Structure 1
Amino acid sequence: MHDESSAGDQLRYLRRSRGLTQESLAERAGLRPGVVKKIEGGGNARIETYHALARALDVRTSRLFDSGPPHRDRRGDEDNLVLMPLRQAIAPAVGAAGPLATCGTVEPDPDLAQMRRTSDALADSYHRDDYATVAEVLPPLIHSAHLAVRHFDGGTDRAEALRLRGRVLQMAGRYLVQVRAYDLAQTALRHAVEDAAAAGDQAGVAAAVYQQGWLLIRQGRLDEAERVSVVTADGSEPRISRASRAALGAWGKLLVHASSAAARNNRPAEAREMLRLARTAGVALGNATAVDNGSWGRFDWRTVAYQAIENQMVAQRPTRALALAARMPPLPKGQTFGRRHLLDVAQAHAMLRQSDDALGILASLRSETPEWLRHQRLAADVFRDARRARRRALSREQRALGDFLGAH
């Protein structure tokens, strides 16, 4: 039995088992031959590249992911210092008397109402891309949430304290995924699910699992992302005719994540089925939008349409993606809902060698939402693709955009 020790080893094994040369596999996948050679030689690639190779080999994308030893690449300690307050709040040192952060502390009785207000304000800061405030407020808020759960241990307010801590940890996980601190995000989101479940808060469980799905997709754990989203959606499926907006939104977002994971895992039929189910939630909402800024964000019929377009891009069908995008209403200026969709549109233009259109979208996003854009790796990839497709030299503004994205 083949022992897969890395993505390169697995790719080489699958390619040879099908009698393909590196050049013929690259041609099937629509890639340059050097890309296959690089991966088989131990290099890494974008998730979209792995997906193209998996589709050419007719296997799930997850079969190609690197499972080599974590010590193979050097890793810096810079993020440990920058994220230290969050690490201490989310994963404190533990002694015989309990977590170090709460041992021997004397605090006033927790004010759950004030914690709720702070949590709501923090969610608004996140959606305004005010990440500096989020990073500053999260550690003391998590600390307060820990104290509240300990204080109300066995009391009538324990369920509410657990629910609040789960919500705060979920927001921490979402922020940490955004800044790519994946392991710490996993810890926060696991505890968020546990707290919501212990509080009997099914909506909180669904929201935390939704954020976990986003994390798993970012990590390339596509089988797990699809399964955990589907299982949770099955357990929280609402009665469509009587469901609240919040219930429809949470259920719909889980299904959208399941579709995203399936599409990236070379499972297009399953991806379409998940979107079909999510569409029923969008139809039930009509022209309304379900909103929960503190957890899964926003959901309506556009969410499903945006995911369908993204799935077309995963399948490398830029012409089809742009045709679907042309049917969508324009986004109001300054609205953050749908901005990820604009990156898909920019990527489609870049793939079709329409570099001015791609760069124009990136420039607009930088003008309207710079703090969000700087954390989007896809934006840097789109810039590089557009630059390669461009026959003319970049303008001064475009070079500045590339510097901003770190794409030079």
Structure 2
Amino acid sequence: MAAAASAGSSHGAHFAAKGFGTRVIHVGQAPDPVSGAVTTPISLSTTFVQTTPGLATGADQALSYGKGYEYSRTNNPTRAAFETALAAAEGGKHALAFGSGMAATTSLIHLLKSGDHVISIDDVYGGTQRYFRRTAAPTYGISFSFIDMTPEMLEAEFAKHPGTKMVWAETPTNPTLKVCDIEGIAAVAHKHGALLVVDNTFMSPWNQQPLSLGADISMNSVTKFINGHSDVVMGVVTVKCDELNEKLRFIQNGVGAVPGPHDSYLALRGLKTLHVRMQRHAENALVVAKALEASDMVEKVVYPGLDSHPQRALVLKQCKTGGGMITFYIKGGLPTARRFLESLKVFTLAESLGAVESLAESPAIMTHASVPAEQRAAIGLTDGLVRLSVGIEDEADLVEDIESALAAARAVLSE
């Protein structure tokens, strides 16, 4: 057992300094020591043999029976392989997988106590905002403020809430695709002794690495680009700090919102192709965004890969590409948006994002319907806003589909 563990450790060390694509395919994924299987096995066991009683954690556990596993909620070999690979992908030291992105979010809020304050970006994901406003605030006594998160506005908010313990950023935001200056807001947050969490879901670890830009915690909905195949619901948190990892491991085990081994296997499979998929997502998204800009049915296109994006310089500074997400405002509001969405053939009308297939939705009445109407108006989430998750199909087919649906929507204006 000890020899096998040593071999796995040396395998990971060899690949730790390699390029992104090499790391996600090899780190944490040494051939199975029993069978020699190249693909990480799905470990379904809920419990693991112990050679002596009472040595259940830490280094003693590892010395006791060689593997460091006791109960699958606490740790599981397949989940551990995914967590190890994801940590390497994100440039972190530790990664922790959860049963969903919202389970990861909930667990991060468990780092706080009643009376603590959180400053969140205003255009935060609808599910996150709903949890903050309607569960964490009334149930746990944690207060939240929502701002347009520039370093200057964050500094001003700290003046109002000097005891703030956590800053919650999302970049690009969902769905208006605002971009945060991660380095800038990290400097302000740390000046005031607060943790910085960055939701990195829209860019993924390949496109943007928040930990290298000063974030304390990077959070991703694995459901989206990391898994990339619309068949897993999962979240993950990545950190560099050992102490923070220990706190989060305790919460992860205590809350118990962990993914099963089969989902961990599927997410690990998805992670292996993240770098090639993200390149294709971005290439297709840029072509689709330009086609939308050329249409007289479109009032405005927001895509981080376009020169017209108001924070294009910041995108170039901290991201590899513009990503795979597009927001645009269609003329005529909800009636034309509805006709456009109903007329799509290659794009699928569905919630979620980041999969190989292209998806389209109306945030105002779908993913962000729970956000108060006045808040939606304040951040520009209007009834005419359409969100596209551009997949990896042939770009000509995607453009043709968009143009055909826009033509169908145009007829609404004359009805």
TM range (shorter): under 0.3
More strand by share: 2
How high is the TM-score relative to the length of structure 1?
0.27
How high is the TM-score relative to the length of structure 2?
0.26
Relative contact order, CA 8 A, sep 6+: which one is greater?
2
